[in-house]
Amino acid sequence: MARAKPDQQESHRTMQVVNHVRAMIENGTLKPGDKIPPERDLARTLLISRASLRTGIGYLAALGVMKIRHGVGTFVADGPPDFGQDSLSFIGALHGFQSWQMFETRILLETGLAALAAERSRDEHQAALAEEVAEMFASVDNPTEYLIHDVAFHRIIAQASGNPILAAIMETIVSSMYDSRRKTVERSIDLRESAGMHREIYRAIRTRKPAEARRLMEQHLRMAQEAQGLERPVGKRGPTSGEKNGSADESQSAL
Amino acid sequence: MARAKPDQQESHRTMQVVNHVRAMIENGTLKPGDKIPPERDLARTLLISRASLRTGIGYLAALGVMKIRHGVGTFVADGPPDFGQDSLSFIGALHGFQSWQMFETRILLETGLAALAAERSRDEHQAALAEEVAEMFASVDNPTEYLIHDVAFHRIIAQASGNPILAAIMETIVSSMYDSRRKTVERSIDLRESAGMHREIYRAIRTRKPAEARRLMEQHLRMAQEAQGLERPVGKRGPTSGEKNGSADESQSAL
DNA sequence: TTTCTTTAAGTGGTCAGACCACAGTATACA
DNA sequence: TGTATACTGTGGTCTGACCACTTAAAGAAA
């Protein structure tokens, strides 16, 4: 019984706007950072009402493709690609994602990313990594500052992997973990040791040792996970029969 | 210089709706498949205009959290979690994702998923996998039917992994590759051999051999990739100067 | 001139109410 | 009994007005 693909496209007008923008992106008329015409103008151009246009723009904004700035204008998103601010967070709330699952996902992604970076990174990436490592060592006494370079380091690895899809996924995961990471970093933790691990990862990438880069990255992330007190519960293979979710057990939804 | 996190939240009213729905999801008032009140009612409840309410609903629909059915109502999404229909496709168009990158991502995810499934799968998952394998063998002469069971097989592995986040990402990737896969499967390819490989993967999972499950899954996917004639191009790391995309070169934008 | 304040223009955000389009059900008619 | 029609409920679109934020220009004060 081949059930047909549902394919519930959004309403006609919305799709009209979405497709229009998409076409402009695909043929190069619109690039990241560009500003699109004012709503009133664009609506007139597309022969639709401003309300409908706004529906379409809102849709694109939700996907993270457009950035809207009140009183200024609407722009095509730039910077590292991601899947939108709330997407993961929201789906997580809906399906009860747990923080150990976030970490597991992150480890799988970043170990792969590190290995790829060891194979494909270019000089510019390696230089950037070296710089971030240096900055990390320079800010071991400033947790807030340190975190910025930590994030930058992992982001550069993602870029160096040569796979923007993996990078985008990683970006989405990491950004939704940002808050809890900040708290963790701010309360103690040996930043000097952490910086040292980053340096080792950098060296493995620079000397093109994928297996070692992978191993070091995994070691680093598992340590970070433990520091956050989120060791994966033992035994228990997924929810057994009952209790899909008790209402509000705070230890869970760390999204 | 720690630049502050931009954090451009959407407009006030939109967030009001989003947060309201989110709260209802988090406290269990709203569950997958549930219908939310009619727009006119809900707008009155939240003391906002219907237009603003619709902006918020549209936002949620874009994230894949809500499903809107014209003339029927608006529902909380059910079924396997994903990141929305267009998200990957659109971001891909914006950043020039290529099909070999899709495959690379898929391989990384699914090999990890297979290994986890070998560790954590329960009887029900194994039974479901066995059934899908049987169905695949039974439909080796019906490509369309075969694909359905193929997809189901991989989806069950994702579930069996016990990590819904990885499953959701996988779901998003796979669904955006669905079209090109259908074409591939429909034109030749030895489905009997393919079914055999799935059976081997199933056996590795059933006998709890993560490493073997991973190896077999990788082998399977690489073969599928080659069948699609999408071997990763050599040299060329990212788009050089010119020719981002000629209009309709089918080999590239397999999104 | 320089600086601060005020004003204006441009752009997105919200509102109100009307009407259109679709899906499912109830009703009337054959 | 069965088919065609009308009705009801729900989302989709339109119009046009007004609000809120941002920026820059114009004017006033130093």
Does B237 score more than 50 pLDDT? Answer: no
Does B191 score more than 90 pLDDT? Answer: no
Choose among B117, B134, B125: nearest CA to B205.
B117
Task: Please give, rounded to a whole number of angstroms, the shortest distance from the CA of A168 to a CA of chain B.
Answer: 9
For the ranges A107-121, A133-147, A240-254, the lowest mean pLDDT is seen at A240-254
**Residues in Cβ contact with B94 at an 8 Å cutoff, skipping those fewer than 6 apart:** A25, A32, A65, A76, A77, A81
Q: Does B15 touch chain A (CB under 8 A)?
A: no
Q: Which residue has the higher pLDDT, B83 or B212?
A: B212
Nucleotides of D under 7 A from a protein CB: 9-17, 20-23
Does A109 score more than 70 pLDDT? Answer: yes
Quote the radius of gyration of chain B (alpha carbons, Å): 21
Nearest CA in chain B to A61: B59
Residue nearest to nucleotide C12 (CA to C1'): A70
**With contacts defined as CB-CB under 8 Å, which chain B residues touch A247?**
27-28
Cβ atoms of A75 and A67 closer than 8 Å: yes
Question: What tokens appear for A161 in the block?
Answer: 């992997």
Q: Does A90 touch chain B (CB under 8 A)?
A: yes
Share of chain B above pLDDT 70, in %: 84
**With contacts defined as CB-CB under 8 Å, which chain B residues touch A179?**
none
Residue B204 is given by DSSP the state H
pLDDT at position A186 is: 67
Stated length of chain A? 255
What's the gap between Cα A151 and its chain centre? Answer: 11
pLDDT in tens, B57-81: 999 999 999 999 999 999 999 988 8
Task: Please give, rounded to a whole number of angstroms, the shortest distance from the CA of A32 to a CA of chain B.
Answer: 8
Can you tell me the distance from the alpha carbon of A199 to that of A213, in angstroms, rounded to the nearest whole number? 11
Taking CB atoms and an 8 Å limit, are B178 and A60 in contact across chains? no
- Amino acid sitting at position A211: A
| In chain A, alpha helices (H) | 12-26, 39-46, 50-63, 86-95, 99-120, 123-138, 143-160, 164-186, 191-206, 210-227
Does B139 score more than 70 pLDDT? Answer: yes
Question: What tokens appear for B40 in the block?
Answer: 């006119």
pLDDT in tens, A159-185: 999 999 999 999 999 988 877 777 776
Number of neighbours of residue A225 by Cβ within 10 angstroms:
20
In this prediction, residues A51-68 reach a mean pLDDT of 95
Taking CB atoms and an 8 Å limit, are B59 and A62 in contact across chains? yes
Conformational region of residue A96, where left means phi above 0, alpha means psi within -120 to 50, and beta covers everything else: left
Task: Please give, rounded to a whole number of angstroms, the shortest distance from the CA of B42 to a CA of chain A.
Answer: 18
Residue nearest to nucleotide D8 (CA to C1'): B71
**Residues in Cβ contact with B196 at an 8 Å cutoff, skipping those fewer than 6 apart:** none
Can you tell me the distance from the alpha carbon of A136 to that of A125, in angstroms, rounded to the nearest whole number? 16
Can you tell me the distance from the alpha carbon of A137 to that of A206, in angstroms, rounded to the nearest whole number? 18
